Amino acid sequence: MTERSRPDTPASPDLQPTPRKRRPPRRVEVSRVQVLSPAMRRITLTGAELQGFEVSDPASYLKLIFPEPGQTEPDRPLPDGPRAKSMRTYTPLAVRPDACEVDIDFVLHGEGPASTWAAQAQVGQVLFLMGPGPGYKPSPDAPLHLLIGDDSALPAFETILAALPATAAVQVLVEVADAAEERPLHSPAALSAQWLARGADNRQAGTALEAALRQSGAPAADARIYLACEADAMRRIRRLLSDALGVPRSQIVGRGYWKLGAVNHPDHDYGEDA
């Protein structure tokens, strides 16, 4: 998803772009809750309104609307109504159209309505789902892919790993709180993964990733990089890669998945201002 540049002169009324029509919200229920680690839950959502819901690219996104305090389920959003207050963006880890199911992984970071909801999620609880939105298209000809991120990026990484060809190689650097958050990763590509512990203090976001990259030195010149983590850390790492390690900016895709101290960080933070 990219923003179009503003024209130098105002467009005529006849040439104004048509506002993008929102996809209708879909009512879904929790059908399964799986504990992956102390800080990660995999929640399966299902419902007849998921008929026709499919994603075509890895690292695609959807939006979930959570109940407000005192509600048992959120209000159904109106097509032209205001944005729901408790709406957050997530990567669908797995979509099973025939079963009308979607799996979503939640990081329990202890802040905001989504994490609070996921920590207590139970079968039968209701959310509204909107989307999907576009994702990431890995270069099919790139011999080496480098995935750099924190635990919030793990679902996106897993969908990218599944989409890579067997002819490629992929290196994954993942920053998590501690070793209890590690889990097996799989890909048709030749895969190597490095798990980095940052500790429980979220103010240290990105520091373990930066240290590992400085130690390893410049990646291969033909590497394609997907970088996704806390927004400020993502910008620091983008600058490290391009300025200190010599990676062309065109080979880096950045995503700020969350921002320290921000309750509702926008879903289109690409860090291109870094």
- Are both 101 and 157 inside the same structural domain? no
- Please tell me the predicted confidence (pLDDT) of residue 21: 62
Does a structural domain hold residue 8?
no
- Are both 117 and 33 inside the same structural domain? yes
- Are both 190 and 111 inside the same structural domain? no
- Are both 120 and 167 inside the same structural domain? no
Does a structural domain hold residue 67?
yes
Task: State which residues form the domain around 117.
Answer: 26-133
pTM of the model: 0.89
- Are both 124 and 149 inside the same structural domain? no
- Please tell me the predicted confidence (pLDDT) of residue 271: 77
- Are both 169 and 204 inside the same structural domain? yes
- Please tell me the predicted confidence (pLDDT) of residue 22: 65
- Please tell me the predicted confidence (pLDDT) of residue 117: 95
> Number of folded domains in the chain?
2
- Are both 235 and 213 inside the same structural domain? yes
- Are both 97 and 153 inside the same structural domain? no
Does a structural domain hold residue 248?
yes
- Are both 170 and 254 inside the same structural domain? yes
- Please tell me the predicted confidence (pLDDT) of residue 23: 77
- Are both 195 and 173 inside the same structural domain? yes
144: β partners: 169, 223
- Please tell me the predicted confidence (pLDDT) of residue 20: 53
- Please tell me the predicted confidence (pLDDT) of residue 7: 30
CATH of the domain at 104: 2.40.30.10
Does a structural domain hold residue 104?
yes
CATH of the domain at 161: 3.40.50.80
Per-residue pLDDT of the chain (274 residues; tens, 9 = 90+): 333 233 333 334 344 444 456 678 999 999 999 999 999 999 999 999 999 999 999 999 999 999 998 999 999 998 788 888 899 999 999 999 999 999 999 999 876 889 999 999 999 999 999 999 999 999 989 999 999 999 999 999 999 999 999 999 999 999 999 999 999 999 999 999 999 999 988 889 999 999 999 999 999 999 999 999 999 999 999 999 999 999 999 999 999 999 987 777 777 777 777 7
